């Protein structure tokens, strides 16, 4: 039996009840669920902790939010929450960490292999009942550059090693530089991208990273390289990407995230040759994973231990 | 300048000149190339060493082959060469070893990920310009069983570890049993296959392994498991596989090798749902890789060192 029972509001447009049920199953009694702005407004007074996804953050400025001390985001990126830092300064914000590396790295290697091995050609031969032996290319020996060496980047690095790739990395903090064969700083983007067969973006979206991948960076890349974005859409200047790829530069782009999501039906990225779009599914927040992370963090909160995934507003993630 | 110049015959229906040129480039002068039965017959007298692919082995019984001491096969499997052991007893047979692990393991993970992640669904959403987020399944935590723990199996095991899979293995010799979480002997097939999500065959074709994967083994597998064959087609009783899968047993089969190759145009395996066929391309013999292996072995031959990849006729590989 838990002695301290903080008042928790779970907010999610689609999954609020599922998350709330899971949290209650861990012995927490005062758990409310909200899926709309109205429900959020109604339940906010007296709430100490929010577990939220796409929360209508504008109401956190109102007096009804005065009791909120901690906001746990359902997700790894918090750019939406701290885009206007005036809102949430009175509360601790945490994000999910160490949950997405497995999913995202599996996604990355799925697409690297799918394209490199020309699975489409193999499938077509089967449809046509044709014997079509050819020598697929090898991932081994190719060079992958991972931008962002947090828990997601580190997991991509680990799998790249198993595929005997050359592994380069760039990070702003310089942490985990020892993971890669060659490490670059944020002053060395051009040098970093030049030597790559694959550039994988796992960076958070901050003032420092927004539209970082622009025309200059793209043109510095090897014309036969691939760009993979599993971070945030706005890391890339999409207009620049479209114009550079229209020139025939880059062998392909694998994009799971976009400046506008859902990607609008009439967006040119859906139809460009050599562009592979997916629907922001590379690092899904599973109910079970998020709930476990939150409940673990909740126990730390109750025990006055430091929370996991605390967002640094200056840094932006 | 090489002092001893053995007479070498390179035989390959399509690549004879390419191999011969590469061998000559390593300083060997007496290298002949043959692509047909007639050319083979003509060039065989006086030949000491054969580098061969799909060689017409029946002529090795003839007196024109009396001078041949060593046959280096272009490939990992030699079941065709020793199917009738009477032919080649007077010569040493070697096969290519340690060259295919990288290719074959990349092929295996290409298909495992392609199917598991439902890339087809993602591609279809793009074609229809539809935002279709869903939670892909994870390879992590699934159980893979590798039958055959030679250099190919060992490389699959290594990559499976990077994907955080549970790794089981079965080998006839018991060598490399320490590589896997659970090792099974050839007496324990039923027990081995029962607990697997993926069964990968990397075994050589011998009297002991022919049609080893029969109805009993297939029915012992988990109905939601996948069967992957990158060894030899005749490891599987294809008739049994077709009938068992027609009952809805097994979630899928990934087949790169077949009892008859090329797989005939009217073969049912081309059109069965959940069967993925490819054209014996998972472990290609590249000219460069084969040539390097052969030249290294040739130097050992000249230096009276033990050759690599010597085939044990009793064992069958």
H, E, C per residue of chain A: CCCCCCCEEEECCCCHHHHHHHHHHCCCCCEEEECCHHHHHHHCCCCCEEEECCCCHHHHHCHHHCCCCEEEECCCCCCCCCCCCCCCCCCEEECCCCCCHHHHHHHHHHHHHHHHCCHHHHHHHHHCCCCCCCCCCCCCCCEEEEECCCHHHHHHHHHHHHCCCEEEEECCCCCCHHHCCEEECCCCHHHHHHCCCEEEECCCCCCCCCCCECHHHHHHCCCCCEEEECCCHHHECHHHHHHHHHCCCCCEEEECCCCCCCCCCCCHHHCCCCEEECCCCCCCCCHHHHHHHHHHHHHHHHCCCCCCCECCCCCCC
Residues B82 and B116 in one domain: no
Span A263-292, pLDDT tens digits? 999 999 999 999 999 999 999 888 888 999
| pLDDT score at B314 | 81
Reported as type and span, the H/E element at residue B34 is strand B31-34
The answer to whether residue B215 sits within a structural domain is yes
Which of A162, A269, A283 to probe the B interface (max B CBs under 10 A)? A162
Residues B228 and B260 in one domain: yes
Structural domain total, chain A: 2
Span B111-139, pLDDT tens digits? 999 999 999 999 999 999 999 999 999 99
From chain A, the residues in CB contact with B119 under 8 A are: 110-111, 114, 119
Q: Which residue range forms the structural domain that includes residue B259?
A: 101-277
Q: What is the DSSP string of B183-200?
A: EE-TT-HHHHHHT-SEEE
User: How many whole angstroms separate alpha carbon A103 and alpha carbon B100?
Assistant: 28
Q: Is B93 helix (H, G, I), strand (E, B) or coil?
A: strand
Kindly give the interhelix angle for A287-302 and A16-25, rounded to the nearest 10 degrees.
50
Residues A46 and A132 in one domain: no
Q: Nearest 5°: CA angle at B147, between B203 and B309?
A: 40
| pLDDT score at A1 | 58
From chain A, the residues in CB contact with B154 under 8 A are: none
Which residues of chain A from 118 to 147 reach within 8 Å of chain B, CB to CB?
119, 122-123, 125-126, 129-136, 138-140
Name the DSSP letter for residue B59. Answer: G
Q: Is the pLDDT of residue B2 over 80?
A: no
pLDDT band at A17 (very low <50, low <70, confident <90, very high): very high
Residue B129 has its nearest CB partner, among A122, A270, A278, at A270
The answer to whether residue B317 sits within a structural domain is no
> What mean pLDDT is predicted for residues B57-66?
90
| pLDDT score at A77 | 81
Q: Which residues pair with A275 in a beta bridge?
A: A253
Residues A88 and A124 in one domain: no
Contact A278 B103 (CB under 8 A): no
Which residues of chain A from 25 to 64 reach within 8 Å of chain B, CB to CB?
none
pLDDT band at A125 (very low <50, low <70, confident <90, very high): very high
- CATH number, domain containing residue B50: 3.40.50.720
Distance from the Cα of residue B199 to its chain's centroid: 15
Q: What is the percentage of chain A residues whose pLDDT exceeds 90? A: 86
Instruction: Find the closest chain B residue to A163 by CA distance.
Output: B159
Span B254-285, pLDDT tens digits? 999 999 999 999 999 999 999 999 999 999 88
How many residue pairs bridge chain A and chain B with CB atoms within 8 Å of each other? 123
The answer to whether residue A2 sits within a structural domain is no
Q: Which residues pair with B227 in a beta bridge?
A: B199, B253
Contact B139 A114 (CB under 8 A): no
Contact B114 A119 (CB under 8 A): yes
From chain B, the residues in CB contact with A158 under 8 A are: 162
Residues B66 and B84 in one domain: yes
Residues B145 and B223 in one domain: yes
Q: Name every residue whose Cβ is closer than 8 Å to that of residue A128 and which is 6 or more positions away in sequence.
A: none
Catalytic residue among A95, A168, A183, A232: A232
> What mean pLDDT is predicted for residues A52-70?
92
Q: Which long-range contacts (CB under 8 A, 24 or more apart) does A148-151 make?
A: A148/A201, A148/A202, A148/A203, A148/A204, A148/A231, A149/A175, A149/A176, A149/A177, A149/A179, A149/A180, A150/A97, A150/A176, A150/A202, A151/A97, A151/A98, A151/A100, A151/A101
Q: Is the dihedral of CA B302, B303, B304, B308 positive or negative?
A: negative
Name the phi and psi angles at B29, rounded to 5: -95, -40
Catalytic residue among B95, B183, B232, B238: B232
| pLDDT score at A84 | 62
Instruction: Find the closest chain A residue to B258 by CA distance.
Output: A131
Mean predicted lDDT score pLDDT of chain B: 94
Instruction: Find the closest chain B residue to A125 by CA distance.
Output: B278
pLDDT band at B61 (very low <50, low <70, confident <90, very high): confident
Q: Is the pLDDT of residue A302 over 80?
A: yes
From chain A, the residues in CB contact with B281 under 8 A are: 122, 133-136
Instruction: Find the closest chain B residue to A285 by CA distance.
Output: B135
Residues B61 and B46 in one domain: yes
Span A126-170, pLDDT tens digits? 999 999 999 999 999 999 999 999 999 999 999 999 999 999 999
User: How many whole angstroms separate alpha carbon A15 and alpha carbon A33?
Assistant: 9
Give the gyration radius of chain A's Cα atoms.
22
User: How many whole angstroms separate alpha carbon A301 and alpha carbon A282?
Assistant: 30
Residue A162 has its nearest CB partner, among B131, B135, B162, at B162
Q: Give the end-to-end CA distance of chain A in Å, rounded to a whole number.
A: 35
Which of A100, A106, A265 to probe the B interface (max B CBs under 10 A)? A106
Residues B42 and B64 in one domain: yes
Q: Is B29 helix (H, G, I), strand (E, B) or coil?
A: coil
The answer to whether residue A316 sits within a structural domain is no
Buried b (16+ CB within 10 A) or exposed e, A135-171: ebebbeebbbbbbbbbbbbbbbbbbbbbbbbbbbbbb
| pLDDT score at A78 | 83
The answer to whether residue A15 sits within a structural domain is yes
Give every strand in the sheet of B92-94, ordered side by side. Answer: B31-34, B8-11, B49-52, B70-73, B92-94
Q: How far is CA B166 from CA A200, B226, B252, B288, in A?
A: 27, 15, 19, 35
Q: How far is CA A207 from CA A79, A259, A317, in A?
A: 9, 14, 11
Contact A139 B265 (CB under 8 A): no
User: How many whole angstroms separate alpha carbon B91 and alpha carbon B316?
Assistant: 15
Contact A132 B270 (CB under 8 A): no
Which residues of chain B from 89 to 118 reach within 8 Å of chain A, CB to CB?
102-103, 106-107, 109-111, 113-114, 117
Instruction: Find the closest chain B residue to A256 by CA distance.
Output: B133
pLDDT band at B77 (very low <50, low <70, confident <90, very high): confident
Residue A284 has its nearest CB partner, among B135, B159, B270, at B135
From chain A, the residues in CB contact with B270 under 8 A are: 126, 129
| pLDDT score at A88 | 74
Residue A117 has its nearest CB partner, among B107, B139, B265, at B107
Q: Is the pLDDT of residue B99 over 90?
A: no
Name the DSSP letter for residue B310. Answer: B
Residues A89 and A130 in one domain: no
Residues A228 and A81 in one domain: no
Decide: B35 and B20 in contact? Cβ < 8 Å. Answer: no
Runs of H (alpha helix) within chain B: 16-25, 37-43, 101-116, 119-127, 151-162, 189-194, 215-220, 238-246, 287-302
Span A233-267, pLDDT tens digits? 999 999 999 999 999 999 999 999 999 999 999 99
In the residue annotation, A238 being an active-site residue is answered as no
Contact B110 A117 (CB under 8 A): yes
Contact A133 B284 (CB under 8 A): yes
The answer to whether residue A85 sits within a structural domain is yes
Q: Does A159 touch chain B (CB under 8 A)?
A: yes
| pLDDT score at B85 | 54
Name the more confident of B1 and B255: B255
Residue B110 has its nearest CB partner, among A114, A261, A277, at A114
Query: ipTM, 2 decimals?
Result: 0.87
In the residue annotation, B280 being an active-site residue is answered as yes
Q: What is the percentage of chain B residues whose pLDDT exceeds 70? A: 98
| pLDDT score at A315 | 83
| pLDDT score at B84 | 62
The answer to whether residue B15 sits within a structural domain is yes
Span B8-38, pLDDT tens digits? 999 999 999 999 999 999 999 999 999 999 9
Lowest average pLDDT, out of A6-20, A83-97, A220-234, goes to A83-97
The answer to whether residue B308 sits within a structural domain is no
Residues B44 and B142 in one domain: no
Q: Is the pLDDT of residue B101 over 60?
A: yes
From chain B, the residues in CB contact with A126 under 8 A are: 270, 276-278
Distance from the Cα of residue A162 to its chain's centroid: 23
In the residue annotation, A280 being an active-site residue is answered as yes
Contact B265 A159 (CB under 8 A): no
* Three-state secondary structure readout of B127-177: HCCCCCCCCCCCCCCCEEEEECCCHHHHHHHHHHHHCCCEEEEECCCCCCH
Closest Cα of chain B to A79: distance in Å? 20
Name the more confident of B223 and A86: B223
User: How many whole angstroms separate alpha carbon B245 and alpha carbon B226?
Assistant: 11
Q: Is the dihedral of CA B79, B286, B104, B120 positive or negative?
A: negative
Residues A25 and A112 in one domain: no
């Amino acid at each position: 039996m838990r002695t301290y029972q903080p008042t928790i509001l779970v907010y999610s447009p689609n999954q609020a009840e599922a998350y709330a049920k899971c949290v209650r199953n861990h012995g927490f009694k005062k758990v409310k669920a909200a899926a709309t702005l109205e429900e959020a407004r109604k339940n906010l007074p007296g709430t100490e902790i929010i577990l939220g996804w796409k929360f209508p953050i504008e109401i956190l400025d109102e007096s009804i939010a005065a009791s909120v001390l901690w906001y746990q985001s359902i997700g790894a990126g918090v750019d939406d929450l701290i885009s206007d830092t005036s809102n949430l300064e009175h509360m601790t914000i945490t994000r999910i960490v160490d949950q997405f590396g497995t999913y995202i790295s599996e996604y990355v290697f799925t697409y690297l292999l799918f394209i490199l091995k020309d699975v489409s050609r193999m499938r077509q031969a089967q449809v046509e009942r044709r014997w079509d032996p050819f020598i697929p290319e090898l991932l081994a020996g190719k060079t992958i550059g991972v931008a962002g060496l947090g828990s997601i980047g580190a997991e991509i690095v680990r799998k790249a090693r198993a595929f005997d790739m050359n592994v380069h990395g760039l990070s702003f903090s310089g942490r985990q530089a020892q993971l890669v064969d060659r490490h670059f700083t944020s002053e060395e983007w051009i040098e970093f991208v030049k030597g790559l067969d694959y550039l994988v973006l796992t960076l958070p979206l901050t003032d420092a990273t927004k539209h970082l991948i622009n025309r200059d960076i793209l043109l510095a890349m090897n014309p036969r390289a691939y760009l993979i974005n599993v971070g945030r859409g706005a890391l890339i200047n999409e207009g620049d990407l479209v114009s550079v790829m229209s020139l025939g530069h880059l062998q392909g782009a694998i994009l799971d995230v976009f400046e506008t999501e859902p990607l609008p039906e009439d967006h040119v990225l859906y139809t460009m040759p050599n562009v592979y779009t997916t629907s922001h599914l590379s690092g899904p927040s599973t109910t079970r994973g998020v709930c476990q992370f939150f409940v673990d963090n909740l126990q730390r909160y109750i025990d006055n231990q430091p929370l996991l995934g605390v967002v640094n507003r200056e840094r932006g993630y």
